[in-house]
Chains A and B, each alone.
Chain A
Amino acid sequence: MNSFALLFLVLGLGLIGWLTGRARAGRLIRAAPKRSHSRPGQHAAYVAMWTALPALLFLTVWSAISPALVRDAVLETPAAASLPSFGFQRDSILGEARMLADNPEAGAFNEEARAIAPVYGAAERRYSWIGSAATILLAFAGFAFAYSRVTPTFRARTRVERTVMLVLLIASLIAILTTLSIFVSLLIESARFFAVVPITDFLFGTHWSPQVISSTDPGESLGAVPLFWGTFFIGAVIAMIVAIPFGLMSAIYLTQYAAPRVRRWMKPILEVLAGVPTVVYGYFAALTVAPAIRDFAVMLGFQYASSESALAAGLVMGVMIIPFVSSMADDSIAAVPTAMRDGSFAMGATRSETIRRVLIPASLPGVVAGMLLAVSRAIGETMIVVMAASGAATITLNPFESATTVTKQIVDLLTGEAEFDSPKTLAAFALGLTLFVITFLLNIVALRVVKKYREAYE
């Protein structure tokens, strides 16, 4: 039986559990209304939970481990004795066997696979039956247990509440666990990289050309400083030169000057900018902005102006970040108490004096936090730089020259033809880890600043 059918079966049993539990509780409570603790609906939920949850939990675990069990079972049969004992080839034969077991018409490269396919199919069927039977059995056992406990004095309500809390807790842990496991997997792959390439070469080396990696000294061409510089230059310098002033000024206009009517249509339009997919910004940068900047650079007299300049990517990235900065600044300016504004007006300060001398200093921590978050977004941004920045890793201060970023290089490294455990591919993980750590720290600092600032006015 396949998992979907099983899932619906278990849910159906849960529904039946709910109905019968409710009926029984209702009957018992009617008989002794004074002594009852929980409402019939709560008893019903209790029975339904016991029927469905353990069975579903088992089903989840089972579908995760059963492929491995099937494989081991196949390998123990005499038919598998002729297979190569380890590695890639055996895995691919087994994979084909599995495919053939599901669909005998499919073609196969390895003749061994055709021989094993029936064995594989049998093992799969056997384990599927074991799993289905155990699931259904568990559902019935859970139902019987819970049903037998339904009495007027049984405290179903507290138990249901506790289970609900547990489910919510697990749901909220999923995001945290995912972050953790991403971090761990990055860490493991990076450790493999650093086993080959010394960490100092990677962090402080100024030469990056992963296309030619010498086998004797792989660290020599995997120095990431040009990438860090490019990322910093494009994301934290050029993009912020655009995003911070424009974002801040639009926030000031929207909170302090704009009539409510203007604000009502202008703010959504600004927020639409944040919803534009970055790939659209990417081709805007590559097709429209970059050529214009190259022409401008040529006009200024730069002979070797690149059409993949740092400036093009940075400018468009800055525009992309504007709504981000603007809405953070908007929030923190609006959070400055009106009393502070009135106090300044009452001293005879004009609007712009009030903004410059009172509102901005008072909202500065929030604005700074917004900028840090914006920086962390900008340096993690991929699509624009993939499309508009070049792959040439140079350390330059000239915005018309080409520069590359960490994210762009990760894409290049992983979309190549290289094997999965070469230093070249593993370097992508080390870069990812570095980026992860940097943005993580930026976010922590930003959140701390915001928190501290919130306390100041509450």
Chain B
Amino acid sequence: MTDIQAPAVRTNQTDPAVAAPAQIKMTARDVNVFYGANHAIKDVSIDVDMENVTAFIGPSGCGKSTFLRTLNRMNDTISIAKVTGDITLDGEDIYSSDMDVVQLRARVGMVFQKPNPFPKSIYENVAYGPRIHGLAPARRDMDQIVESALRRAGLWEEVKDRLSDSGTALSGGQQQRLCIARAIAVDPEVILMDEPCSALDPIATAKIEELIHALRGKYAIVIVTHNMQQAARVSQKTAFFHLGHLVEYGETSEIFTNPRQERTKDYITGRYG
């Protein structure tokens, strides 16, 4: 690897630098996003696959978060946002009238930049999704879902004795893992992460990165980050966005060692951004 890569947190069995053979989960073709008169995303086409973690990098305001939010239609909540182009999940058009946004978001979960646990107990935070989607008919099933989600998010050992404490009382890193557990609890197929570590300290960040390694392969994961070292550490595929364009998309190792585009090279060598 190059000198760009910081001392990485490597705990995983799979070598994170090597992309696995791809089974395509989501595709985007010629996607444009407008916020009123502002053309935020310009003709972006990309495939997201099941086996790899995909990182979106780029300078602030390049549209990476905006594009991420088109993948589970979170832009719907912004009245002036308009999305054109095709985005599919397992071949189904997610913007077609047949696609129910409630079901879409159950299949494509999201973790936000700032940990945003609900002002409820830890248990209720995780049970929120299963409850609204009716996944657990009995109390016992719910207990099981909550426990397994917390285990997979690496939080179970820390909170198992205080599940009834408020989720907002946890530390920032724990809150973010709680939000990941909350997303996992509805058993999604894709997890979108919007700069999940930007509000966390380095130790909490390392834990989240470990968690992303552990979740790889079980879910298609897309992570937006402004931290290039993080992209290099956690992802196998990297997409570089600039001024609303997708400049370059490829295997992470390629992008960081041998970028094809001049702009990508300038960005990853710290010329701007």
Q: Which residues of A contact B (CB under 8 A)?
A: 259, 337, 339-350, 353, 357-358, 361-362, 456
State which of A346, A357, A456 has its C-beta within 8 Å of the C-beta of B105: A346
Which residues of A are found within 8 Å of B132, using beta-carbon distances? 347-350, 353, 357
* Contact indicator per residue, chain B 183-198, by CB within 8 Å of chain A (1) or not (0): 1001000000000000
B112 proximal to A (CB < 8 A):
yes
Take A361-B119, A361-B120 as given contacts and tell me if A347 and B112 are in contact as well, using a CB distance cutoff of 8 Å.
Answer: no
Name the residue in B101, B103, B105, B132 with the highest tally of chain A Cβ atoms < 10 Å from its Cβ.
Answer: B132
Which residues of A are found within 8 Å of B168, using beta-carbon distances? 456
A347 vs chain B, min Cβ distance (A)? 4
B18 proximal to A (CB < 8 A):
no
User: Do A339 and B109 touch (CB < 8 A)?
Assistant: no
Which residues of B are found within 8 Å of A347, using beta-carbon distances? 105-106, 109, 128-129, 132, 182-183, 186
Which residues of A are found within 8 Å of B112, using beta-carbon distances? 339, 342-343, 346
State which of A259, A343, A456 has its C-beta within 8 Å of the C-beta of B116: A343
User: Do B183 and A362 touch (CB < 8 A)?
Assistant: no
**Total number of B residues with any Cβ neighbor in A under 8 Å:** 28
User: Do A340 and B77 touch (CB < 8 A)?
Assistant: no
Residue pairs across A and B with Cβ atoms less than 8 A apart, 18 shown, are A337-B116, A340-B118, A341-B77, A342-B74, A342-B112, A342-B116, A343-B118, A345-B77, A346-B72, A346-B105, A346-B109, A347-B106, A347-B109, A347-B128, A347-B183, A348-B102, A348-B106, A362-B119
Give the CA-CA distance A252 to B132 in the complex, in Å: 20
Give the CA-CA distance A175 to B12 in the complex, in Å: 68
* Contact indicator per residue, chain B 85-128, by CB within 8 Å of chain A (1) or not (0): 00000000000000001111110011010101111100000001
User: Do B102 and A362 touch (CB < 8 A)?
Assistant: no
A349 vs chain B, min Cβ distance (A)? 5
Give the CA-CA distance A362 to B168 in the complex, in Å: 11
Q: Taking A341-B77, A348-B129 as given, write out 4 further A-B residue pairs in contact, using a Cβ cutoff of 8 Å, ordered by the A residue number.
A: A343-B112, A344-B118, A361-B118, A361-B120
B43 vs chain A, min Cβ distance (A)? 26
* Contact indicator per residue, chain B 152-191, by CB within 8 Å of chain A (1) or not (0): 0000000000000000100000000001001100100000
Name the residue in A341, A347, A349, A353 with the highest tally of chain B Cβ atoms < 10 Å from its Cβ.
Answer: A347
User: Do B77 and A342 touch (CB < 8 A)?
Assistant: yes
Give the CA-CA distance A259 to B119 in the complex, in Å: 27
Name the residue in B77, B112, B114, B119 with the highest tally of chain A Cβ atoms < 10 Å from its Cβ.
Answer: B119
User: Do B110 and A346 touch (CB < 8 A)?
Assistant: yes
Give the CA-CA distance A347 to B180 in the complex, in Å: 11
Closest B residue, CB atoms, query A347? B129
User: Do A346 and B74 touch (CB < 8 A)?
Assistant: yes
User: Do B116 and A340 touch (CB < 8 A)?
Assistant: yes
Give the CA-CA distance A336 to B185 in the complex, in Å: 24
B99 vs chain A, min Cβ distance (A)? 12
Which residues of B are found within 8 Å of A341, using beta-carbon distances? 77
Which residues of B are found within 8 Å of A337, using beta-carbon distances? 116
Nearest first, the 5 closest Cβ-Cβ pairs linking A and B are A348-B105, A346-B110, A339-B116, A348-B106, A343-B116
A394 vs chain B, min Cβ distance (A)? 44
Which residues of A are found within 8 Å of B105, using beta-carbon distances? 345-348
User: Do A357 and B114 touch (CB < 8 A)?
Assistant: no
User: Do B103 and A348 touch (CB < 8 A)?
Assistant: yes
Closest A residue, CB atoms, query B73? A345
A348 vs chain B, min Cβ distance (A)? 4
